[in-house]
């Protein structure tokens, strides 16, 4: 699939942008702080309803507009998308209203999603534009906390699997309610007989999430291993991606706990088609954790505490891998993600690459560029287009980004 036209109003440093986007690779170049990353962020936001950079969505509204005296400020992102079977228009609106009686300095904030000009739930926007994004900070997937890896899994899966997305959102609500009840029970309030009702719902939804994640990671692991082994390290190194489902209480910090969780991951992989077995296992885990959970007033097992890790030549990549090895593993993961999305949805995703090309050596860069040629559209950013080969620049459309404006040019 590809984006034919992008229109932005009051988004970051884009007051107003109307931009036709061609097929093939598009190189956005320009000095620092001109709006290259912001443009990719807008596309990612339309695809996933999440920003990879802002902690609060309100930060995405152009700050001059946001601070104006206008009673209502709308930030609009619209993309005309061409997919294999149909064309569609998707839109996100971030709306800030001045509400004189309200708190927060009298400002309220809300979001709206539209498909073909009809309002839909935010969730229904997912999958309408599929993207794979690769940022320099994706290295954090190797070394950062488990929350980063869960977020990556959820955002990627939600683009392709609407059922997963719905179940995840329901699971998070039930989890919140269950934890609130555990707190009330600890304070001597609340009804104990409600707990099994929440627990039962949690088991049904949670076990589905476990199964879908296990399937996803198994697919991704296979392809990541192949790309890494065959195409990146010429048979010298093996990378393994292991699922660590939180189906038991212990944290997964010590080496033996990691091994135990990984064994559970393998067990899950072999039971992805057996919903009853996964439910029974999760039920057992919740029951075993209940005494401590009652004291801590939280639910310590379940997919909300999942993790996954890379292993390189049998060792933990985060602790033992060099920066170069970590970079290769992430590149293999991203290329595997493109492969997985294309296979599952019969659509090639739009690839978004912010600054990463500069960080890759020649071999890795060449591999990435061969993958880009297979896609309908890829947007790359660089401060220095000189790092691309003449051959690549001939095939790419180049555009200069200057202070919130985008000007097609020729390099």
> Does residue 59 belong to the site contacting ligand ATP (CB under 6 A)?
yes
Find tokens 């690779």 and name the residue: 25
Single out the residue of 224, 410, 189 nearest to residue 317, CA to CA: 224
> Is position 51 an interface residue for ligand ATP (rule: CB under 6 A)?
no
Is residue 133 a contact point for ligand ATP (CB under 6 A)?
A: no
285: Cα within 13 Å, side-chain hemisphere: 24
Strand partners of residue 78: 7, 91
C-beta of 63 vs 320, nearer to ligand ATP: 63
Specify the stretch interacting with ligand ATP by CB under 6 A; choose among 34-42, 144-152, 225-233, 285-293. Answer: 34-42
Lay out the site mask for Mg ion across 21-50 (x = CB under 5 A, - = otherwise).
Answer: ---------------xx-------------
Closest CA to 57 of 33, 32, 75, 30: 75
Could you say whether residue 13 binds Mg ion (CB under 5 A)? no
Cβ closest to ligand ATP, residue 52 vs residue 252: 52
Q: Does the footprint of ligand ATP cover residue 385 (CB under 6 A)?
A: no
CB of 38 to ligand ATP, least distance (A): 3
Kindly tell me which of 33 and 407 has the beta carbon lying closer to ligand ATP. 33
What is the three-state SS of the chain? CEEEEEEEEEECCEEEEEEECCCEEEEEECCCCCCHHHHHHHHHHHHHCCCCCCCCHHHHECHHHHCCCCCEEEEEEEEEEECCCCEEEEEEEEEEEECCCCCHHHEEEEEEEEECCEEECHHHHCCCCCEEEECHHHHHHHHCCHHHHHHHHHHHHHHHCHHHHHHHHHHHHHHHHHHHHHHHHHCCCCCHHHHHHHHHHHHHHHHHHHHHHHHHHHHHHHHHHHHHHHHHCCCCCCEEEEEECCCCCCCCCCHHHHHHHHHHHHHHHHCCCCHHHHHHHHHHHHHHHHHHHHHHCCCCCCHHHCEEEEEECCEEHHHHCCHHHHHHHHHHHHHHHHHHHHHHHCCCCEEEEECHHHHCCHHHHHHHHHHHHHCCEEEEEECCHHHCCHHHHHHCEEEEEECCEEEEECC
Q: Is 345 in the site for ligand ATP (CB under 6 A)?
A: no
Q: Using the rule CB under 6 A, is 13 a contact of ligand ATP?
A: yes
Interface with ligand ATP (CB under 6 A), residue from 48, 62, 299, 326 = 62
Contact 24, 379 (CB under 8 A): no
State which residue, 157 or 401, has the beta carbon closest to ligand ATP.
401
When the beta carbons of 18 and 402 are compared against ligand ATP, the nearer one is 402
13 binds, among ligand ATP, Mg ion, none (CB under 5 to 8 A by kind): ligand ATP
Rule CB under 6 A: choose which of 25, 30, 349, 385 binds ligand ATP.
30
Residues in 245-274 at the binding interface with ligand ATP, rule: CB under 6 A:
none
Residues binding ligand ATP: what is the number (CB under 6 A)?
16
In this chain, which of 2, 21, 27, 35 binds ligand ATP, going by CB under 6 A? 35
Q: Which is nearer to ligand ATP, 41 or 306 (CB)?
A: 41
Which is nearer to Mg ion, 63 or 320 (by Cβ)?
A: 63
Q: Does 159 bind ligand ATP (CB under 6 A)?
A: no
Check residue 32 for interaction with ligand ATP (CB under 6 A): yes
29 touching ligand ATP, by CB under 6 A = no
By beta-carbon distance, which residue lies closest to Mg ion?
Answer: 37
Q: Give least dist CB 403 to Mg ion, A.
A: 14
Q: How far is the CB of 32 from ligand ATP (least distance, A)?
A: 3
Pick 20 or 137: Cβ nearer ligand ATP? 137
Tokens of 11: 């988004």
**Does 33 participate in binding ligand ATP (rule CB under 6 A)?**
yes
Nearer to Mg ion by Cβ, of 153 and 353: the residue is 353
Q: Which residues of this protein are in contact with ligand ATP, per CB under 6 A?
A: 12-13, 30, 32-38, 59, 61-63, 383, 401
């Amino acid at each position: 699939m590809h984006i034919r036209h992008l229109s932005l109003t009051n988004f970051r440093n884009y007051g107003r942008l109307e931009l036709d986007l061609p097929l093939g690779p598009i190189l956005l170049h320009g000095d620092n702080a001109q709006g290259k990353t912001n443009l990719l962020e807008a596309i990612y936001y339309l695809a996933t309803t999440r920003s990879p950079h802002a902690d609060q969505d309100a930060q995405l509204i152009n700050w001059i507009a946001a601070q104006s005296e206008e009673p209502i400020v709308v930030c609009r992102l619209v993309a005309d998308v061409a997919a294999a079977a149909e064309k569609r228009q998707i839109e996100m609106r971030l709306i800030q209203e001045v509400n004189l009686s309200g708190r927060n300095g009298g400002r309220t904030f809300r979001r709206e999603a539209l498909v073909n000009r009809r309002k839909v739930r935010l969730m229904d926007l997912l999958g309408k534009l599929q993207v794979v994004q690769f940022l320099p900070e994706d290295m954090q997937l190797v070394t950062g906390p488990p929350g980063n890896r869960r977020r990556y899994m959820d955002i990627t899966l939600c683009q392709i699997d609407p059922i997963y997305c719905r179940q995840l959102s329901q699971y998070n609500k039930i989890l919140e309610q269950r934890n609130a009840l555990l707190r009330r029970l600890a304070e001597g309030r609340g009804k104990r007989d409600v707990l099994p009702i929440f627990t039962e719902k949690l088991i049904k939804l949670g076990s589905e999430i476990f199964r879908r994640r296990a399937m996803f990671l198994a697919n991704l692991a296979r392809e990541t291993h192949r790309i890494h082994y065959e195409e990146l390290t010429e048979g010298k190194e093996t990378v393994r991606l292991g699922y660590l489902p939180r189906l038991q209480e212990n944290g997964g910090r010590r080496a033996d706990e990691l091994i135990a969780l990984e064994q559970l991951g393998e067990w899950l992989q072999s039971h992805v088609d057996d919903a009853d077995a996964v439910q029974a296992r999760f039920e057992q885990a919740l029951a075993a954790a209940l005494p401590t959970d009652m004291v801590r007033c939280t639910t310590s097992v379940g997919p909300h505490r999942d993790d996954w890790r890379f292993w390189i030549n049998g060792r933990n990549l985060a602790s033992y891998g060099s920066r170069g090895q970590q970079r290769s593993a992430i590149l293999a993961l991203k290329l595997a993600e493109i492969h997985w999305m294309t296979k599952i949805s019969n659509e090639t995703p739009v690839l978004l690459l912010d600054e990463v090309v500069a960080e890759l050596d020649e071999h890795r860069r060449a591999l990435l560029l061969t993958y880009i040629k297979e896609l309908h559209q890829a947007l790359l950013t660089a401060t220095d287009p000189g790092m691309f080969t003449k051959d690549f620049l001939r095939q790419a459309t180049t555009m200069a980004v200057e202070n919130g404006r985008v000007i097609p040019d020729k390099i």
